């Protein structure tokens, strides 16, 4: 069965610092990969997705992620974090080669210090 | 605002009771998905409906059931509630069977 691991439960960074959130997946075929963000009291918003092609994917809000098949990873990055980026971030893999059944990681809570 | 609405926002009920959560998808979306988010299990896919028909099933308990109506809104019914059913229940919608999902703000269920 497919699974997603986000090794970091909680990360704290200073505003303006760079950010990398880790995600490792387990999936037999080429995965469909996603990053979502959840702000307090809100639903999940899609930041970016990878289906195929270029392994560096650009998303909204200045985020990007890189798919590395050899490492089974899909890490999320941002060069300069803003205080409004404080939220919980979820990595997900689409099951069955499609994306209608998403398996989510446990999430990484991002705190941004001024 | 994703365009997906869920009611109620909060629900407090007792063990053994039955509740119904409602979801209205974005205009034009035919698929509705239900997810459960709890502290111990994280975010789990429960069930998907597409244009009124059940399309995919995840870790949904037998005590839970869902349906999608002709106007495309969906209801998730939870019965014989247990303390462990306390969670945030999200609805999401998409245009087709797959595709980008838009999540609603969730319904927080507390079972006492």
Q: What length does chain B have?
A: 112
Tell me which of A28-42, A86-100, B18-32, B82-96 is least confident.
Answer: A86-100
Per-residue model confidence (pLDDT) at position A100: 67
- Which residues lie below 8 Å from residue B61, measured CB to CB, with a gap of 6+? none
Minimal CA separation from B97 to chain A, in Å: 7
- Average pLDDT over chain A reads 91
Residue A1 buriedness (CB in 10 A; 0-12 / 13-18 / 19+): exposed
Taking CB atoms and an 8 Å cut-off, how many pairs form between chains A and B?
50
Q: Look at B90 and A102 and tell me if their CB atoms are within 8 Å.
A: no
Residues A107/B35, Cβ–Cβ less than 8 Å? no
Residues B56/A101, Cβ–Cβ less than 8 Å? yes
Residue A18 buriedness (CB in 10 A; 0-12 / 13-18 / 19+): exposed
With beta carbons under 8 A apart, name residues in chain A contacting B99.
Answer: 99
Query: What are the pLDDT digits (tens) for A19-69?
Result: 999 999 988 777 889 999 999 878 899 999 998 888 999 999 999 999 999
Per-residue model confidence (pLDDT) at position A36: 95
Mean pLDDT computed over B12-27: 98
Structure token digits, residue A22: 């880790």
Per-residue model confidence (pLDDT) at position B98: 74
Positive or negative torsion for Cα B60, B37, A75, A5: negative
With beta carbons under 8 A apart, name residues in chain B contacting A43.
Answer: 2, 4, 90, 92, 103-106
Is residue A96's pLDDT more than 70?
no
């Amino acid at each position: 069965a497919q699974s997603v691991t986000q090794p970091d439960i909680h990360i704290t960074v200073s505003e303006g610092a760079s950010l990398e959130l880790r995600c490792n997946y387990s999936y037999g075929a080429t995965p469909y990969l996603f990053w979502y963000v959840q702000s307090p009291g809100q639903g999940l918003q899609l930041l970016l997705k990878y289906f195929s092609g270029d392994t560096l994917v650009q998303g909204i809000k200045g985020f990007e992620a890189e798919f590395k098949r050899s490492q089974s990873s899909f890490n999320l990055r941002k060069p300069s974090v803003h205080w409004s980026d404080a939220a919980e971030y979820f990595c997900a893999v689409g099951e069955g080669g499609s994306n209608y059944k998403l398996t989510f990681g446990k999430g990484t809570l991002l705190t941004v210090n001024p | 605002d994703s365009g997906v609405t869920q009611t109620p926002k909060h629900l407090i009920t007792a063990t053994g009771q039955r509740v119904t959560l409602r979801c209205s998808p974005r205009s034009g979306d035919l698929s509705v998905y239900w997810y459960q988010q709890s502290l111990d299990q994280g975010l789990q896919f429960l069930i998907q409906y597409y244009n009124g028909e059940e399309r995919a099933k995840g870790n949904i308990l037998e005590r839970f059931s869902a349906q999608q109506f002709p106007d495309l809104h969906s209801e998730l019914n939870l019965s014989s509630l247990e303390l462990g059913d306390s969670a945030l229940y999200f609805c999401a919608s998409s245009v087709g069977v797959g595709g980008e999902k838009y999540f609603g703000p969730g319904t927080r269920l507390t079972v006492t």
